[in-house]
Amino acid sequence: MNMSFFNFRFSSRSRTKKGELAAPPTTSLASFFSRTPLASPRPVSPTASSSKLLYLTPPFVGTSLVKGNFTPIVALPRFVDLDEWLASNIFDFFFYLNTFYGSLSDFCQPQTCPVLSADAGIEYHWVDSQKKSHRIPASQHIDLIMTFLEQTIYNESIFPTKDGNLKLQYHIYVNLGVPFPPDFKSVIQNMARQIFRVYAHLFHSHYHTILHLRSEGHFHSQFAHFTAFVRNFQLLGQKDLTPLAELIAEMESQGLY
Ligand SMILES: [Zn+2]
């Protein structure tokens, strides 16, 4: 097991301002997304704008920034610990989404989005630490989700980054690091569920704005990468994926998984 992969990413992260993370030093899609400027806004026809499932209609349903199959990208590499891989990827997906949502947050207001809604008539309520459910505006809900994700990632007892025990393997000492908690996969599943809900809301309520910003290619590719990951490691169930099940099926038929 090689700890350097994960530690490299986490030791180099830094804050830029409240609620944002500096771009990880990687040539992954994260850095590509953050470097690619958004094109000038374009108009979207009134007919298209009134369609609820605009993202399922051509040509948008087939749009993509990255062509090809995401399954090999998300597969566990040889000699990499599973928990390390899950942690590293969920960090990237949080970063992608937090950055992308930053370009849309001005359009997600309590007046326009009184609740975190999604397709299939679904609305999500925030459940607090006392297990009490709250119907709150989407912007507030997403802020709580991003804060939860960030605080979880920065929690050393859940996402350890420190050096740990040394183990002799093949005549060299390998740093095994501090172990992840036993329930780590369930933590990752919960984080993936929260990330998915933000995607579901953006497709449902803000797709027109995404089109106006000409960023649908970025968005579809981000989502295809994320869903390839959750499918590969069975992090979410069919019930979780319901609001975007049609889009996921479309992406599968396009050979993205
Ligand atoms: Zn919204």
Give 144-161 pLDDT, tens digit per residue: 999 999 999 999 999 988
Asked if the model's pLDDT at residue 11 lies above 80, the reply is no
- The structure tokens listed for 115 are 């609740």
Question: Which residues are found with C-beta within 5 Å of the ion, ligand 1?
Answer: 108, 113, 138, 205
The alpha-helical segments, DSSP class H, found in the chain are 4-11, 29-35, 46-49, 71-74, 82-102, 138-153, 184-205, 207-212, 216-232, 238-241, 245-253
- Report pTM: 0.79
Phi, psi of 209 (to 5 degrees): -65, -40
Look up residue 177 and give its DSSP letter.
Answer: E
Q: Cα separation of 94 and 226, whole Å?
A: 10
Query: Ligand 1 centroid to 72 CA: how many Å?
Result: 33
Query: Ligand 1 centroid to 11 CA: how many Å?
Result: 33
Asked if the model's pLDDT at residue 212 lies above 90, the reply is yes
pLDDT digits (tens, 9 = 90+) for 29-40: 333 333 333 344
pLDDT of residue 167: 66
Return the ∠ at Cα 213 (arms to 149 and 68), rounded to 5°. Answer: 70
pLDDT of residue 161: 85
- The structure tokens listed for 167 are 């183990």
pLDDT of residue 240: 96
Strands 165-169 and 133-134: unpaired
Query: Ligand 1 centroid to 116 CA: how many Å?
Result: 7
- The structure tokens listed for 12 are 């180099």
Whole-Å CA distances, 58 to 32, 48, 87, 91, 222: 25, 10, 35, 32, 19
Question: 218: buried, middle or exposed (CB in 10 Å: 19+, 13-18, 0-12)?
Answer: buried
pLDDT of residue 173: 66
